[in-house]
Amino acid sequence: MPIQKKITIAIDGFSSCGKSTLAKAMAHDLGYIFIDSGAMYRAITLFCYKNKYVDEQFIDEEKIIKSLKNISIHFEYNSNTSKLEVTLNNENIEKEIRNLTISNLVSKVASIKEVRQKLVNEQQKIGENGGIVMDGRDIGSVVFPNAELKFFVTADPKVRANRRFLELNDPNVSLKDVAKNLKERDFLDSTRAESPLIQTEDAIVIDNSELTQDEQLLIALKYHKECIDYLTQFPKKK
Ligand code: CDP
Protein backbone atom coordinates (compact mmCIF):
# COMPACT_ATOMS: atom_id res chain seq x y z
CA MET A 1 0.00 0.00 0.00
CA PRO A 2 1.42 3.44 -0.88
CA ILE A 3 2.30 5.69 2.04
CA GLN A 4 -0.53 8.16 2.50
CA LYS A 5 0.35 11.74 1.70
CA LYS A 6 0.53 14.05 4.71
CA ILE A 7 -1.22 17.32 4.07
CA THR A 8 -1.64 20.64 5.86
CA ILE A 9 -4.94 21.25 7.64
CA ALA A 10 -5.95 24.78 8.66
CA ILE A 11 -8.74 25.33 11.19
CA ASP A 12 -9.98 28.86 11.84
CA GLY A 13 -12.94 30.31 13.67
CA PHE A 14 -14.25 32.44 16.51
CA SER A 15 -13.19 32.17 20.15
CA SER A 16 -14.11 28.98 22.01
CA CYS A 17 -15.89 27.32 19.14
CA GLY A 18 -14.09 23.99 19.52
CA LYS A 19 -11.31 24.52 16.99
CA SER A 20 -8.58 23.17 19.24
CA THR A 21 -10.68 20.17 20.26
CA LEU A 22 -11.22 19.30 16.62
CA ALA A 23 -7.61 20.00 15.63
CA LYS A 24 -6.27 17.86 18.47
CA ALA A 25 -8.57 14.94 17.67
CA MET A 26 -7.79 15.07 13.94
CA ALA A 27 -4.06 15.19 14.57
CA HIS A 28 -4.33 12.23 16.96
CA ASP A 29 -6.33 10.20 14.45
CA LEU A 30 -4.11 10.99 11.48
CA GLY A 31 -0.74 10.90 13.27
CA TYR A 32 -0.17 14.58 12.49
CA ILE A 33 1.35 17.36 14.63
CA PHE A 34 -1.19 19.63 16.32
CA ILE A 35 -0.29 23.26 16.90
CA ASP A 36 -2.52 25.64 18.84
CA SER A 37 -1.41 28.98 17.39
CA GLY A 38 -3.54 30.85 19.95
CA ALA A 39 -1.26 29.49 22.69
CA MET A 40 1.64 31.35 21.04
CA TYR A 41 -0.27 34.68 21.12
CA ARG A 42 -1.27 33.96 24.70
CA ALA A 43 2.39 33.26 25.62
CA ILE A 44 3.55 36.63 24.27
CA THR A 45 0.65 38.28 26.10
CA LEU A 46 1.68 36.63 29.38
CA PHE A 47 5.24 37.91 28.91
CA CYS A 48 3.93 41.45 28.24
CA TYR A 49 1.55 41.33 31.19
CA LYS A 50 4.26 40.16 33.60
CA ASN A 51 6.55 42.94 32.38
CA LYS A 52 3.74 45.52 32.71
CA TYR A 53 3.64 46.36 28.99
CA VAL A 54 -0.10 45.72 28.87
CA ASP A 55 -3.11 45.73 31.19
CA GLU A 56 -6.84 46.44 30.87
CA GLN A 57 -6.32 50.20 30.45
CA PHE A 58 -3.01 50.49 28.69
CA ILE A 59 -0.64 49.00 26.13
CA ASP A 60 2.96 50.02 25.35
CA GLU A 61 3.37 48.79 21.79
CA GLU A 62 6.88 50.15 21.46
CA LYS A 63 8.14 48.17 24.46
CA ILE A 64 6.32 45.05 23.25
CA ILE A 65 7.90 45.28 19.81
CA LYS A 66 11.38 45.86 21.31
CA SER A 67 11.01 42.89 23.65
CA LEU A 68 10.06 40.40 20.91
CA LYS A 69 13.71 39.43 20.37
CA ASN A 70 13.83 38.27 24.01
CA ILE A 71 10.81 36.01 23.69
CA SER A 72 11.27 32.42 22.68
CA ILE A 73 8.25 30.18 22.33
CA HIS A 74 8.37 26.43 21.87
CA PHE A 75 6.18 23.39 22.33
CA GLU A 76 7.17 20.43 24.52
CA TYR A 77 5.54 17.03 24.68
CA ASN A 78 3.74 16.09 27.90
CA SER A 79 3.65 12.30 28.02
CA ASN A 80 0.94 12.31 30.72
CA THR A 81 -1.55 14.22 28.59
CA SER A 82 -0.04 13.18 25.19
CA LYS A 83 -0.18 16.85 24.30
CA LEU A 84 2.21 19.51 23.11
CA GLU A 85 2.40 22.26 25.71
CA VAL A 86 3.66 25.76 25.17
CA THR A 87 6.83 27.11 26.79
CA LEU A 88 7.93 30.72 27.16
CA ASN A 89 11.70 31.16 27.49
CA ASN A 90 11.91 27.49 28.48
CA GLU A 91 9.23 27.69 31.19
CA ASN A 92 6.05 25.63 30.75
CA ILE A 93 3.17 28.13 30.92
CA GLU A 94 0.38 25.98 29.46
CA LYS A 95 -1.95 26.54 32.46
CA GLU A 96 -1.22 30.20 33.15
CA ILE A 97 -2.08 31.40 29.66
CA ARG A 98 -5.68 30.13 29.81
CA ASN A 99 -6.93 32.41 32.60
CA LEU A 100 -9.38 35.25 32.01
CA THR A 101 -6.77 37.98 32.64
CA ILE A 102 -4.74 36.77 29.65
CA SER A 103 -7.91 36.13 27.61
CA ASN A 104 -8.92 39.74 28.19
CA LEU A 105 -5.59 41.10 26.90
CA VAL A 106 -4.55 38.70 24.15
CA SER A 107 -6.51 40.22 21.27
CA LYS A 108 -4.92 43.62 21.89
CA VAL A 109 -1.42 42.13 21.76
CA ALA A 110 -2.32 39.94 18.77
CA SER A 111 -3.31 43.01 16.75
CA ILE A 112 0.30 44.29 16.68
CA LYS A 113 1.85 43.75 13.24
CA GLU A 114 5.33 42.82 14.53
CA VAL A 115 3.90 40.26 16.96
CA ARG A 116 2.04 38.61 14.10
CA GLN A 117 5.07 38.65 11.80
CA LYS A 118 7.18 36.87 14.40
CA LEU A 119 4.60 34.18 15.10
CA VAL A 120 3.48 33.63 11.51
CA ASN A 121 7.13 33.11 10.60
CA GLU A 122 7.57 30.50 13.34
CA GLN A 123 4.28 28.78 12.50
CA GLN A 124 5.28 28.48 8.85
CA LYS A 125 8.61 26.93 9.86
CA ILE A 126 6.90 24.39 12.14
CA GLY A 127 4.54 23.40 9.31
CA GLU A 128 6.92 23.44 6.35
CA ASN A 129 6.84 19.66 5.88
CA GLY A 130 3.07 19.20 6.14
CA GLY A 131 1.47 16.56 8.36
CA ILE A 132 0.14 19.30 10.60
CA VAL A 133 -3.19 20.54 11.92
CA MET A 134 -3.01 24.15 13.10
CA ASP A 135 -5.87 26.13 14.54
CA GLY A 136 -6.25 29.88 14.94
CA ARG A 137 -7.69 32.93 13.22
CA ASP A 138 -5.47 33.45 10.15
CA ILE A 139 -4.20 29.95 9.42
CA GLY A 140 -6.08 29.41 6.15
CA SER A 141 -5.72 33.04 5.07
CA VAL A 142 -2.15 34.00 5.99
CA VAL A 143 -0.09 31.23 7.62
CA PHE A 144 -0.93 28.41 5.19
CA PRO A 145 -2.93 29.93 2.31
CA ASN A 146 -2.11 26.81 0.26
CA ALA A 147 -3.28 24.32 2.89
CA GLU A 148 -4.93 21.38 1.14
CA LEU A 149 -7.79 21.32 3.65
CA LYS A 150 -9.34 24.30 5.45
CA PHE A 151 -12.14 24.42 7.98
CA PHE A 152 -14.01 27.38 9.40
CA VAL A 153 -15.59 26.32 12.69
CA THR A 154 -18.46 28.20 14.22
CA ALA A 155 -21.08 27.77 16.96
CA ASP A 156 -23.85 29.73 18.64
CA PRO A 157 -22.31 32.39 20.98
CA LYS A 158 -24.35 31.10 23.95
CA VAL A 159 -23.13 27.54 23.40
CA ARG A 160 -19.54 28.76 23.10
CA ALA A 161 -19.72 30.82 26.31
CA ASN A 162 -21.20 27.92 28.21
CA ARG A 163 -18.55 25.49 26.99
CA ARG A 164 -15.68 27.81 27.94
CA PHE A 165 -17.28 28.58 31.32
CA LEU A 166 -17.41 24.86 32.15
CA GLU A 167 -13.89 24.32 30.84
CA LEU A 168 -12.43 27.18 32.93
CA ASN A 169 -14.13 25.88 36.08
CA ASP A 170 -12.99 28.93 38.04
CA PRO A 171 -15.25 29.97 40.95
CA ASN A 172 -14.11 33.59 40.50
CA VAL A 173 -15.27 33.76 36.88
CA SER A 174 -18.97 34.01 35.97
CA LEU A 175 -20.70 32.92 32.77
CA LYS A 176 -21.33 36.61 32.11
CA ASP A 177 -17.58 37.39 32.35
CA VAL A 178 -16.81 34.63 29.87
CA ALA A 179 -19.54 35.72 27.43
CA LYS A 180 -18.28 39.32 27.56
CA ASN A 181 -14.70 38.20 26.85
CA LEU A 182 -15.76 36.10 23.85
CA LYS A 183 -17.84 38.93 22.40
CA GLU A 184 -14.99 41.43 22.75
CA ARG A 185 -12.41 39.07 21.27
CA ASP A 186 -14.68 38.13 18.36
CA PHE A 187 -15.05 41.83 17.60
CA LEU A 188 -11.34 42.71 17.93
CA ASP A 189 -10.17 39.61 16.03
CA SER A 190 -12.47 40.15 13.07
CA THR A 191 -12.07 43.93 12.75
CA ARG A 192 -8.31 44.40 13.29
CA ALA A 193 -6.22 45.78 10.42
CA GLU A 194 -3.58 43.01 10.48
CA SER A 195 -4.79 39.65 9.17
CA PRO A 196 -8.29 39.72 10.69
CA LEU A 197 -10.28 36.55 11.20
CA ILE A 198 -12.01 35.79 7.90
CA GLN A 199 -13.68 32.80 6.36
CA THR A 200 -11.71 32.04 3.20
CA GLU A 201 -13.69 31.01 0.12
CA ASP A 202 -12.13 27.56 0.06
CA ALA A 203 -12.88 26.77 3.73
CA ILE A 204 -15.45 24.16 4.73
CA VAL A 205 -17.82 25.56 7.35
CA ILE A 206 -18.68 23.40 10.35
CA ASP A 207 -21.30 24.74 12.76
CA ASN A 208 -20.93 22.51 15.80
CA SER A 209 -23.62 24.10 18.02
CA GLU A 210 -25.53 20.85 17.98
CA LEU A 211 -22.75 18.37 17.28
CA THR A 212 -20.91 16.19 19.76
CA GLN A 213 -17.11 16.14 19.59
CA ASP A 214 -17.24 12.71 17.94
CA GLU A 215 -19.76 13.82 15.33
CA GLN A 216 -17.66 16.87 14.50
CA LEU A 217 -14.55 14.70 14.18
CA LEU A 218 -16.28 12.23 11.86
CA ILE A 219 -17.40 15.02 9.55
CA ALA A 220 -13.90 16.49 9.40
CA LEU A 221 -12.29 13.08 8.77
CA LYS A 222 -14.71 12.44 5.92
CA TYR A 223 -13.54 15.66 4.27
CA HIS A 224 -9.94 14.65 4.91
CA LYS A 225 -10.50 11.33 3.17
CA GLU A 226 -12.16 13.04 0.19
CA CYS A 227 -9.22 15.44 0.00
CA ILE A 228 -6.65 12.61 0.03
CA ASP A 229 -8.62 10.66 -2.60
CA TYR A 230 -8.72 13.75 -4.79
CA LEU A 231 -5.00 14.45 -4.38
CA THR A 232 -4.19 10.82 -5.17
CA GLN A 233 -6.16 11.07 -8.39
CA PHE A 234 -4.99 14.58 -9.32
CA PRO A 235 -1.58 15.13 -7.69
CA LYS A 236 -0.55 18.78 -7.40
CA LYS A 237 2.37 19.86 -9.58
CA LYS A 238 5.40 20.85 -7.45
O1 CDP B 1 -9.14 29.09 22.49
P2 CDP B 1 -9.74 30.40 22.12
O3 CDP B 1 -10.66 30.29 20.96
O4 CDP B 1 -10.34 31.13 23.27
O5 CDP B 1 -8.59 31.39 21.66
P6 CDP B 1 -7.12 31.06 21.21
O7 CDP B 1 -7.14 30.19 20.00
O8 CDP B 1 -6.36 30.60 22.40
O9 CDP B 1 -6.60 32.49 20.75
C10 CDP B 1 -6.43 33.55 21.68
C11 CDP B 1 -6.36 34.86 20.92
O12 CDP B 1 -5.14 34.89 20.16
C13 CDP B 1 -7.46 35.13 19.90
O14 CDP B 1 -8.61 35.71 20.48
C15 CDP B 1 -6.76 36.07 18.93
O16 CDP B 1 -6.78 37.39 19.40
C17 CDP B 1 -5.32 35.59 18.95
N18 CDP B 1 -4.99 34.72 17.80
C19 CDP B 1 -4.70 35.31 16.60
O20 CDP B 1 -4.78 36.51 16.47
N21 CDP B 1 -4.30 34.53 15.55
C22 CDP B 1 -4.21 33.21 15.66
N23 CDP B 1 -3.79 32.49 14.62
C24 CDP B 1 -4.55 32.58 16.88
C25 CDP B 1 -4.95 33.36 17.93
Quick: pLDDT tens for 175-185.
999 999 999 99
Higher pLDDT, 234 or 146: 146
CA 36 to centroid of ligand 1, rounded, Å: 9
Mean pLDDT of 42-58: 97
CA 79 to centroid of ligand 1, rounded, Å: 25
Whether the predicted pLDDT of 122 surpasses 80: yes
- Closest atom, ligand 1, to C-alpha of 189: 16
Structure confidence at residue 121 as a pLDDT band (50, 70, 90)? very high
CATH superfamily, region 8-228: P-loop containing nucleotide triphosphate hydrolases (3.40.50.300)
The pTM assigned to this predicted structure is 0.95
What pLDDT, on the 0 to 100 scale, is given for residue 83?
Answer: 84
Question: Which residues lie with the beta carbon below 6 Å from any ligand 1 atom?
Answer: 15-16, 20, 37-38, 41-42, 106-107, 110, 136-139, 185, 189
Query: Nearest-CA neighbor of 24 among 190, 153, 198?
Result: 153
Domain residue limits, the chain? 8-228
- Closest atom, ligand 1, to C-alpha of 164: 4
- Closest atom, ligand 1, to C-alpha of 15: 3
Alpha-carbon distance 166 to 226, whole Å?
A: 34
pLDDT tens by residue, 136-169: 999 999 999 999 999 999 999 999 999 999 999 9
What pLDDT, on the 0 to 100 scale, is given for residue 40?
Answer: 98
DSSP alpha helix (H) spans, the chain? 19-30, 37-50, 61-67, 100-109, 113-126, 157-168, 175-191, 213-233
Mean pLDDT of 176-202: 96
CA 15 to centroid of ligand 1, rounded, Å: 7
Strand ordering across the sheet containing 91-92 = 73-78, 83-88, 91-92
Alpha-carbon distance 192 to 97, whole Å?
A: 22
3-state DSSP assignment of residue 174: coil
What residue's CA is closest to ligand 1, atom 21? 137
Higher pLDDT, 238 or 41: 41
Q: Which residues contact 126 (CB under 8 A, 6 or more apart)?
A: 33, 35, 132, 134
Whether the predicted pLDDT of 1 surpasses 70: no
- Closest atom, ligand 1, to C-alpha of 123: 23
C-alpha distances in Å from residue 194, one per residue of 45, 141, 153, 159, 189? 17, 12, 21, 28, 9
Strand ordering across the sheet containing 33-36 = 33-36, 132-136, 8-13, 149-154, 204-207
Strands 8-13 and 149-154: parallel
Cα 15 from chain centre: 9
CA 13 to centroid of ligand 1, rounded, Å: 9
Whether the predicted pLDDT of 237 surpasses 70: no
What residue's CA is closest to ligand 1, atom 13? 107
Mean pLDDT of 81-88: 90
Whether the predicted pLDDT of 235 surpasses 90: no
